[in-house]
């Protein structure tokens, strides 16, 4: 499958690129500095761009079969970055008739099916206290995707960390059994499985240990 990955230069997006190549996909990595991108593969193209640049996003999506967005808030935060990026991605996919989108967000973006425990409420309180603008931008990003007619899945993650690729995690909603951590490698594992399996189409699953 031909895939473009936004947010490919670090963290979760970097893991997605590596595992996608291992799985035999043809990958376009959308990054700010292609010359610094350390992954090299015959099936990889690293292109320069900013997700807030609508024309650059449209160009990257042209010819693709699916889009994965692992974009996350920057430091310092850029106002409305997530919302604008989501709008650009959705518009680019519509223009080029690409339907499958997997995007990511934090576990703090609540869903009606969630049954948060005390630690979930506490983490949510801290996020709203310390990074309210980021929380609101992430929530708006999700709303933009939900309002589209794309074949979307928004994967919610708790705190992502370095760690091994186990392939052993739970998928569902925030509950008494859901965890507060996940390795980036396992996050990428789920994204690439969901890309083709489509078990969580137009849903927001939480993936955690």
Protein fold of 2-208: Rossmann fold (3.40.50)
Contact 46, 29 (CB under 8 A): yes
CB atoms within 10 A of CB 7: 23
Q: How far is the C-alpha of 108 from the C-alpha of 158, rounded, in Å?
A: 8
Q: Please, what is the Cα angle at 58 between 52 and 63, to 5 degrees?
A: 145
Position 132 scores a pLDDT of 62
Strand partners for 106: 157
**Residue 119 phi, psi dihedral angles, 5° rounding:** -65, -35
pTM of the model: 0.90
**SS3 letters for the chain?**
CEEEEECCCCHHHHHHHHHHHHCCCEEEEEECCHHHCCCCCCCEEEEECCCCCHHHHHHHHCCCCEEEECCCCCCCCCCCHHHHHHHHHHHHHHHCCCCEEEEEEECCCCCCCCCCCHHHHHHHHHHHHHCHHHHHHHHHHHHHHHCCCCEEEEEEECEEECCCCCCCCEEECCCCCCCCEEEHHHHHHHHHHHHHHCCCCCCCCEEEC
Nearest CA among 45, 38, 36, 42 for reference residue 5: 45
- pLDDT tens for the 209 residues of the chain, in order: 999 999 999 999 999 999 999 999 999 999 999 999 999 999 999 999 999 999 999 999 999 999 999 998 877 778 899 999 999 999 999 999 999 999 999 887 887 887 776 666 666 656 665 556 666 878 899 999 999 999 999 999 999 999 999 999 999 998 888 888 999 999 999 999 999 999 999 999 999 99
């Amino acid at each position: 499958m031909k895939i473009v990955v936004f947010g490919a230069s670090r963290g979760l997006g970097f893991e997605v690129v590596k595992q996608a190549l291992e799985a035999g996909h043809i990958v376009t990595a959308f990054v700010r500095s292609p010359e610094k991108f350390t992954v090299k593969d015959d099936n990889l193209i690293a292109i320069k761009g900013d997700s807030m640049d609508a024309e650059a996003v449209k160009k990257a999506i042209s010819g693709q079969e699916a889009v994965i967005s692992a974009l996350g808030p920057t430091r310092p935060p850029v106002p409305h970055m997530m919302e604008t990026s989501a709008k650009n991605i959705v518009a680019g996919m519509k223009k080029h008739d690409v339907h499958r989108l997997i995007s990511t967000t934090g576990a703090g973006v609540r869903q009606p099916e969630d049954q948060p425990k005390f630690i979930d409420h506490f983490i949510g309180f801290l996020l709203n206290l310390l990074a309210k603008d980021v929380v609101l931008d992430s929530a708006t990003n999700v709303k933009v995707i939900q309002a589209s007619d794309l074949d979307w899945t928004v994967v919610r993650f708790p705190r992502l960390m370095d760690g091994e690729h186990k392939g052993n995690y739970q998928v569902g909603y925030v509950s008494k059994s859901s965890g507060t951590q996940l390795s980036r490698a396992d996050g990428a594992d789920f994204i690439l499985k969901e890309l083709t399996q489509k078990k969580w189409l137009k849903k927001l699953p939480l993936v955690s240990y």
